[in-house]
Amino acid sequence: MPLPEGPLRIAAVGDVHCAKASAGQFQPLFAEVASRADVLLLCGDLTQRGTVVEAEVLVRELKAVAVPVLAVLGNHDFESDQVEAVTDVLEKGGITVLDGDTWEKGDVGFAGVKGFGGGFGERSLAPWGEPMMKRFVAEATEETLKLERALASLRTARKVALLHYAPVEATVEGEPREILPFLGSSRLEEPLDRYHVDLTFHGHAHRGTVEGRTRGGQPVYNVALPLLRARGSEPPLFVVEV
């Protein structure tokens, strides 16, 4: 395992929802990244409807970023059933899209998955009843296993997880209680504690809470762009050192 190096500055934001009409809107935000961080994390819902055209607009907006960019997809990025083509555009544009994969910079390892819903704690959905319900829970379980395998493969001194769906209930507090099962799953929390992940970032919950912790005390940050804007962050980026 590499020995710890100096601090790595991470800028994170999710839910930019880049649309065809977004050209020029995000360049000022992304231009701030190089002076503030060593790596940029995009926590899903990169596009509004999951189209190739929207992905192409986002790539052009990110030309201002002079640091590595890592991303996971979100539910919006699946809307038009163009996931492979959208991912191809993003990766050709220099964005590393993680889906159960890892990326390392020095002694810091990053693991990324989209995640899925299912609810939190004792209110988590169980794989019982109708086949559709079982498939829903199976999807959450598979995303958790992808995260676990990615984290298990890292041998770095420090670890960072990148998600779209929330792994803890604390960072979705503020959203209507009725939709919590669709905002995240506490199944994602277990591997974060087991592998002692130093920082976890997610989006998806636009009206949630920025900071929370796993049961093991590891910090989790909701970096959805609408939430950061409502919080008054200027620029609306979450920047932290690991």
In tens, the pLDDT along 143-183 reads 999 999 999 999 999 999 999 999 999 999 999 999 999 99
Residue carrying structure tokens 């989006």:
203
Q: Could you tell me which residues come within 8 angstroms of residue 66 by beta carbon, excluding any fewer than 6 positions away?
A: 33, 34
Domain ranges, ordered by start, for the chain: 9-241
Quote the pLDDT of residue 157. 96
Rounded Cα distance between 154 and 234, Å, is: 33
The highest-level CATH class for domain 9-241 is alpha beta
What amino acid occupies position 22?
S
DSSP-derived pairing of the beta strands 211-213 and 39-43: unpaired
Structure tokens of 40? 């940029």
Q: Alpha-carbon distance 181 to 21, whole Å?
A: 32
Tokens of 38: 């060593």
Query: Residues in the chain with pLDDT < 50?
Result: none
Cα 30–Cα 61–Cα 206 angle in degrees, nearest 5: 65
pLDDT recorded at residue 223: 98
| CA 234 to chain CA mean position, Å | 20
**CA-CA-CA-CA dihedral for 70, 76, 77, 83, to nearest 10:** 140
Is residue 237 within 8 A of residue 12, CB to CB? The reply is: yes
Which candidate, 92, 83, 103, 74, places its Cα nearest to that of 183?
74
pLDDT of residue 201: 98
